[in-house]
Chain A
Amino acid sequence: DAKTTQPNSMESNEEEPVHLPCNHSTISGTDYIHWYRQLPSQGPEYVIHGLTSNVNNRMASLAIAEDRKSSTLILHRATLRDAAVYYCILREDKIIFGKGTRLHILP
């Protein structure tokens, strides 16, 4: 079973920031937090990952709570192309996906 919980769906307006939450209360000290997203009719693609510190890359930012029991993926300026299912995952030898959050972007 997935070790993370996420809202089933979220909506955001185009060109506004989006904060996608994830709870992982059973995280261990060595688990990395990974985020992937899946666009329609495609395989998942990597977005970002982190261990303890907040992380930024060209796609998104990852904010990790101090106790590491939750994290937030931040899309700074959502576009229609960001409409996808976003998966928050604790990285182990095998990656176990939950149902993710379906993000709808409103024009």
Chain B
Amino acid sequence: DTGVSQDPRHKITKRGQNVTFRCDPISEHNRLYWYRQTLGQGPEFLTYFQNEAQLEKSRLLSDRFSAERPKGSFSTLEIQRTEQGDSAMYLCASSLELATNEKLFFGSGTQLSVL
């Protein structure tokens, strides 16, 4: 069990650029979640996958955000035409969802700064 891995740890980009983050969940975990967190706030739900299927996407998520989990293993989160308001910590979590009481394991996050 190597834990949830996120890459990169930090990303600085200019407004208008596209960025992509990667999340490698714990092996055999079928659920994968993306969250966004700004300073002083709790993590905000963005989307989650059951294997390769994206089951829900937050209505707060603009069309500039897209997430994939093509083979049911790692996932990518892409933000197109970044804005300064996208600056946040992006967290990934995974769980082995056999029942609704399974605990989530979080990665250390990707800190995005949009200049």
A3 to chain B, nearest CB (A): 13
| Residue A93 lies at the interface, judged by CB distance under 8 Å to chain B | yes
CA distance A70 to B35 in the complex (A): 26
Contact of B48 among A36, A46, A93, A98 (CB under 8 A): A93
Interface size class of A (residues with CB under 8 A): 20 to 34
The answer on a CB contact under 8 Å between B101 and A32 is yes
- Which residues does chain A contribute within 8 Å of B104, judged by CB atoms? 36, 44, 46, 95
Bound: A38/B106 CA distance, A: 10
Segment at the A interface, from B11-19, B37-45, B69-77, B79-87: B37-45
**A100 touching B33 by the CB < 8 A rule?**
no
Number of residue pairs A-B, CB distance < 8 angstroms: 57
Query: What residue in chain B is nearest A2 (Cβ atoms)?
Result: B42
Give the residues from 79 to 97 in chain B that come closer than 8 angstroms, CB to CB, to chain A.
91, 93
Assess whether B103 is in contact with A92, with CB atoms less than 8 Å apart: no
Name B residues whose Cβ lies closer than 8 Å to a Cβ of A.
Answer: 4, 33, 35, 40-45, 48, 55-56, 91, 93, 100-101, 103-109
What are 14 contact pairs spanning A and B, CB under 8 A?
A32-B101, A43-B91, A43-B93, A43-B106, A43-B109, A44-B43, A44-B106, A91-B101, A92-B100, A95-B33, A95-B45, A96-B45, A97-B44, A98-B42
